[in-house]
Amino acid sequence: MIENGKIRVFLLDDHEVVRRGVHELLSAEADVEVVGEAGTAAEALARIPATRPDVAVLDVRLPDGSGVEVCREIRSGDESVRCLMLTSFADDEALFDAIMAGASGYVLKAIRGSELLSAVRDVAAGKSLLDPVATARVLERLREGGGPKTDDRLARLTEQERRILDLIGEGLTNRQIGEELHLAEKTIKNYVSGLLSKLGMQRRSQAAAFVARMQVEKH
């Protein structure tokens, strides 16, 4: 719910210069108020619930994780927060991740200031900014969906790795997975590194999206 006619915005970007620039751009507008900032995923997860923004502008690539993971986590707790992903790179994998995490929009950092303002306003108003053509392409790929390829990759995993992959898909952290399986957090970290390697992935968010993709294919 937008209070006082102002859109409350939270900024997450690990580059202070980018954050400052976006902050100044948004704060200059009468209908926008920047209510908080963070430079890491951990800071954002701690601060966003307290600042209760209407829109969270989230950098996709972060030193301690991914803005997509932050989006998924925040929206699982409060669906009223709309997430606008901000990234330097346009690729189907990141777009797919954003769609699955419930993001309302996905814009490139090369965007002009006026376009970013429009994007924030549109997302706050409940519109989706995900490019229909790109979204359709990703969902089409999902439906055709890596059938045998998906199964081949899963076959490389041990039973324990499969269990951990499922828990990653549920959004659990390494610590939470460790508690669930009665293993040390460091042990889980090693398992996660191993299963990502076997799946040919670099990021945890890719594994979460992979699980989501399998679930869609089952239905």
Which residues 6+ apart lie within 8 Å of 42 measured at CB? 64, 65
Mean pLDDT of all residues in 194-216: 81
pLDDT: which is higher, 79 or 58:
58
Residue 145 has pLDDT above 60, yes or no: no
pLDDT at 209: 82
Q: What confidence tier does 146 reach under pLDDT thresholds 50, 70, 90?
A: very low
Contact 107, 88 (CB under 8 A): no
Per-residue model confidence as pLDDT tens digits over 163-190? 999 898 888 889 999 999 999 999 999 9
Per-residue model confidence as pLDDT tens digits over 26-41? 999 999 999 999 999 9
pLDDT: which is higher, 155 or 134:
155
Q: What confidence tier does 11 reach under pLDDT thresholds 50, 70, 90?
A: very high
Residue 134 has pLDDT above 70, yes or no: no
Contact 64, 41 (CB under 8 A): yes
Per-residue model confidence as pLDDT tens digits over 62-112? 888 889 889 989 988 888 999 999 887 766 667 777 777 888 888 888 888
Spatial separation of the C-alpha atoms in residues 11 and 193, rounded to whole Å: 29
pLDDT at 147: 42
The share of the chain scoring above pLDDT 90, in percent, equals 44
pLDDT at 206: 83
pLDDT: which is higher, 132 or 161:
161
Mean pLDDT of all residues in 190-218: 81
What 165-173 contacts at long range (C-beta under 8 Å, 24+ apart), as own/partner pairs, is 165/195, 165/207, 165/210, 165/211, 166/211, 168/192, 168/204, 168/207, 168/208, 168/211, 169/207, 169/208, 169/210, 169/211, 169/212, 169/215, 171/69, 171/72, 171/73, 171/76, 171/208
Mean pLDDT of all residues in 148-161: 72
pLDDT at 6: 93
Model pTM greater than 0.85? no
Mean pLDDT of all residues in 54-62: 93
pLDDT: which is higher, 108 or 143:
108
Other C-beta atoms lying within 10 Å of the C-beta of residue 147: 9
